[in-house]
A and B are shown apart, each in its own frame.
Chain A
Amino acid sequence: MRAQPEEVRDSIPDPLVQRAGDPADLLVRAAHLLDPVTGTDGAHDVEVRGGVIEKIGEAGSLDPGDTAEVIEADGLHLFPAFFDPHVHLRTPGQEYKEDIESGSRAAAAGGYGGILAMANTAPPVSDPADIEALRHSAGLEAVVPVGFLATLTRGMEGRELVDMSELRQAGAVGFTDDGLPVADASVLAKGLRYQRMCGGTIALHEEDPALSGAGVMNEGAVSTRLGVRGIPSVSESTMIARDTALAGYEGGAIQVQHLSAAESVEVIRRAKADGVDVHAEVTPHHLCLTDEAVTDLDPSRHKMNPPLRTESDRQALIEGLLDGTIDCIATDHAPHALQEKEVPFEEAAMGVTGLETAFSSLYTHLVVPGAVPLELLVGKLGSGGAAFGIEPFAIATGATANFCLADLSATWRVGEEGFESRSSNSWCAGDELTGRVLTTVANGQVAWRLRSFSLEVA
């Protein structure tokens, strides 16, 4: 991220907040440790004391001694905890869909050690007091550390900038009108220029509202067959072209959210080659599904914005992940209540949940078939904080424990045992997936245990 004046940086609080809890004391024995940050790939013992990784040794080398808990992890994988920069926690105002506690619990169940919450709540998070209140709540409720973005424009109305500097000092990690594009280019340009003073990467939902119109799915053969209004892929890519050009001109830092189209990947690739400070996200559902899935017109699984696109778009997204054009995987976890999804497709709310299934779905759809190496997947699930100056977690001696233990041979049916999220609009509800997170340690605390696994351990 760009250099900021020292005095501003010093006054900015820690980006992430979590509830108080007991630090973990445990010994994970003989797990296959795969850490793209440290470059570790092999069976190891990992000992955690007081929430800190005290020792890492060869498998079977560490003595449990008086360690409170021993996890026999032979045959299991230990990854650095994931980080999701794009989650909707729906608070304030829509706690019937999700809140900090339920959303962060869903994150823990997915192997996440930290998440960033979007600001398109009701009302939107536009005032420093909102950020302070949310951080206070997170300090009481958040199962894993949570950071909060503020809106870029007041009330997400797209006209006036929020008090960016004060919001930064209140703890806003960045700025975003996510859910809506910043339609007026001059507003974004001013925000990017103002960013020189206060920092705070601007995350952008890229869509030209005039091109998207009343569309609700990808424009193409499937929308034609179904008779459903389409959103053309250029609605996204033309806006990214505009905004990467603005970021280059202003010297600002942006995060382009949820890429969906092949053209968009190409625009990002060119912008990066031109030296623009841009990071790009992609969601699990755009990496795993195409608009053919929309044929069932099931809004609970298949209606979201940006929409699922074609197989060639999906392949371009995978290619962008492999060549580094796309920096991270972000779920765009977007919970909605049953009554908002149990309606005809065109009337339903946009968005699907993804925190609890991100790793498993991508392992099943990309790693098992050989499209993406496991190490790359783990790396891209962990690097989501980079644009906001949040380093990926590493499993290293002396570091705070942030890791998840996964069984790559486990198969499970999504939703069979319910969801940790308050909402059930998972894009892979009912699917059988391979690979499952068993335990998550976040910021030195045990944040999650799969019930059947913890029984086994007990």
Chain B
Amino acid sequence: MKDLISISDLSRDEVEAILERDDSFVEVSEREIKKVPALRGKTVVTLFYESSTRTSSSFELAAKRLSADVVSVKASGSAVDKGESLKDTVETLSAYGPAAIVLRHPSAGAARLLSQWVDASVINAGDGMSQHPSQALLDVYTLRSRVGSLEGLKIWIVGDVLHSRVARSNIQAFGLMGAEVTVAGPPTLIPLDVEELGCRVEYSLDGMEEADVVYLLRMQNERMEGNFVPSLREYARLFQLNEQRLGPRQLVMHPGPVNRGVEIAPSVIDCEQSLIADQVAAGLVVRMAIFYELLVGGDTVRTGPEPVPTIGEPA
């Protein structure tokens, strides 16, 4: 595997290969010196054309914990502000000979395009409303850590599916791992023919008691170009996950950042059943595993049961 661009490019075996490495990196994260030399001498460029807190910081930290040299470029404050094209920016950064470029971009397909231009591994950290594969992988990892397997698990993805790259990646990833996915939200926020991605559609939360996992999506005000819901108040009344709607055995997930009191009641965020903090923690180890898989791992075929990464002594 050279690039990570879309969940739709991955087989179940390839997802398993990344997830299997994760546990080794959990162990690293628990050490006093949380650093290994796996990517020593390699350069990782992170190129963010959209604002981000958790994704950019976790990719950066993941690369640093693997001892890579990290160059972080944000669109604001760089030559991008001066009108430089993506291609020209990337050609400039390619002069550093990066082993990997992590790209977040507001346009669908930007990471795929980048992969046609550069020799480096390209990691899609979110492209427009299209894909966010590392988020999907960390969500699968988080769930597996809690429940073991996703086989037959009923997962409801609730909220603004239309504008959500997380929804697109996660519908595919959860389905790939054997879960049954339902998306729910107001019809104006559910894209046409979304069933073709392999999910059911509901326009209310009636019937959500069947769900093992409720995955909430943020109301993406910055991507809304019109009135998709009459009011956030009405949306919250119909679709907010609160203590009354949350069943006792259901798990709650959210990719963040959270709009407290809109898609989720504050009390639910921090409850026992919430995996939201676990997701953030998983973000770091899964992104370490992604770097390792793309830049070191090479062949994903396993011969033995032992964890493969040769992590070595602290650097």
Contact = CB atoms under 8 A, between A and B. Distances in A.
B107 A345 contact: yes
Given A213-B226, A339-B85, A343-B86, A227 B196 contact: no
Nearest to A232: B192
A224 B130 contact: no
A225 interface: yes
B105 interface: yes
Interface in A208-262: 213-214, 219-221, 223-230
B130 A220 contact: no
A214 B107 CA distance: 12
Interface in A174-226: 213-214, 219-221, 223-226
A224 B107 contact: no
A346 B86 CA distance: 13
Q: How large is the interface on B (under 10, 10 to 19, 20 to 34, 35 or more residues)?
A: 20 to 34
B6 to A, nearest CB: 10
A226 B5 CA distance: 12
B112 interface: yes
B108 A219 contact: no
Nearest to A227: B130
A41 interface: no
A224 B191 contact: yes
A229 to B, nearest CB: 7
Nearest to B131: A227
A297 B116 CA distance: 12
A214 B129 CA distance: 13
Interface in B111-131: 112-113, 127-131
Given A221-B192, A221-B196, A225-B197, A343 B87 contact: yes
Contacts of A225: 168, 196-197
Interface in B130-174: 130-131, 165, 168
A342 interface: yes
B109 interface: yes
Nearest to A339: B85
B225 interface: yes
B225 A214 contact: yes
Contacts of B258: none
A342 B165 CA distance: 23
B85 A228 contact: no
A347 interface: yes
B198 to A, nearest CB: 11
23 contacts: A219-B192, A220-B193, A223-B192, A224-B191, A224-B192, A224-B194, A225-B196, A226-B130, A227-B129, A227-B131, A228-B130, A230-B191, A297-B109, A297-B112, A339-B85, A342-B87, A343-B85, A343-B87, A343-B113, A344-B86, A344-B110, A344-B127, A347-B107
The 5 A-B pairs of least Cβ separation, nearest first, read A344-B107, A227-B130, A297-B109, A221-B193, A224-B191
Given A223-B191, A230-B191, A342-B87, 16 more contacts: A213-B225, A213-B226, A214-B225, A224-B191, A224-B197, A226-B109, A227-B108, A227-B129, A227-B130, A227-B165, A228-B109, A339-B85, A343-B113, A344-B110, A346-B108, A346-B128
